[in-house]
Amino acid sequence: MLTRRRLLLALASAAAVIAAGLSLTQLSKPFHKQEEVESTVKAEGRIKLPEPSYESRVSIEKAILLRRSRREYRDEPITLKQLSQLLWAAQGITESRYGFRTVPSAGATYPLEVYVVVKSGGVEGLEAGIYHYLPKTHEIELVKLGDYSRELMKASLDQEWVGAAPINLVINAVYERTTRHYGDRGVRYVHMEVGHLGQNIYLQCISLGLACVVVGAFYDEEVKRIVGGVGEPLYVIPVAVPVEPWKL
């Protein structure tokens, strides 16, 4: 088991190294108001999420102290309120005039799209399926019904924590939203942005008593086929209730 885990972690590290090979040519800093993101399904497929909370009993310092990658989960669902909080932490709106979000974005171009792969019984009161987060209205829209957790695990080199988690966040990037303003340098900005998002998820998980790990080792085309959304996948992030509660 330990050898298998080390192999998977090594593959994930190799994927990160490949992703880091960036072309850097153009550097400018225009400001761009948030662009509208096209919905992938009709309005009747949308679900309004509970309002996110803006306070918790866990300080930011404590969350940073406890942040870990964890891969052992209980076979328990998360709540819709917890899902709402996670999605807000990932890409939620924090300022209405310009549509600023919870993570910094070069020129406010916001190239990231968040999808949720929900397994059967993974979220209380929510059917298994793939959902797309709509930051502007704090809703999720159904992309397709069904439990795709096992398929996603296979596409992620059979990393068992992907299949075990009640939900997986899949973070896609539409590079053109940023590179059309910054050229090749925009690729770097997109990768920086997804890192900011990943840390937000880690810290929000601590606050919610959940666990997660960011996964970068997967077959891109398979993940794209399974999710059926827009953009290129950069992260798969399983989120779950940890086997053991957080402690130092």
Which residue has 């596409």 as its token pair? 155
**Residue 25 above 50 pLDDT?**
no
Instruction: Give the model confidence (pLDDT) of 96-128 as tens digits.
Output: 999 999 999 999 999 999 999 999 999 999 999
**Residue 37 above 60 pLDDT?**
no
Instruction: Give the model confidence (pLDDT) of 133-153 as tens digits.
Output: 999 999 999 999 999 999 999
Confidence of residue 5 (pLDDT cuts 50, 70, 90): low
Instruction: Give the model confidence (pLDDT) of 214-240 as tens digits.
Output: 999 999 999 999 999 999 999 999 999
Burial of 57 (0-12, 13-18, 19+ CB in 10 A): exposed
**3-class SS of residue 71:** coil
Alpha helices in the chain (DSSP H): 2-19, 60-66, 80-91, 149-155, 160-164, 176-182, 185-208, 220-227
**Residue 88 above 70 pLDDT?**
yes
Instruction: Give the model confidence (pLDDT) of 191-204 as tens digits.
Output: 999 999 999 999 99
**Residue 24 above 80 pLDDT?**
no
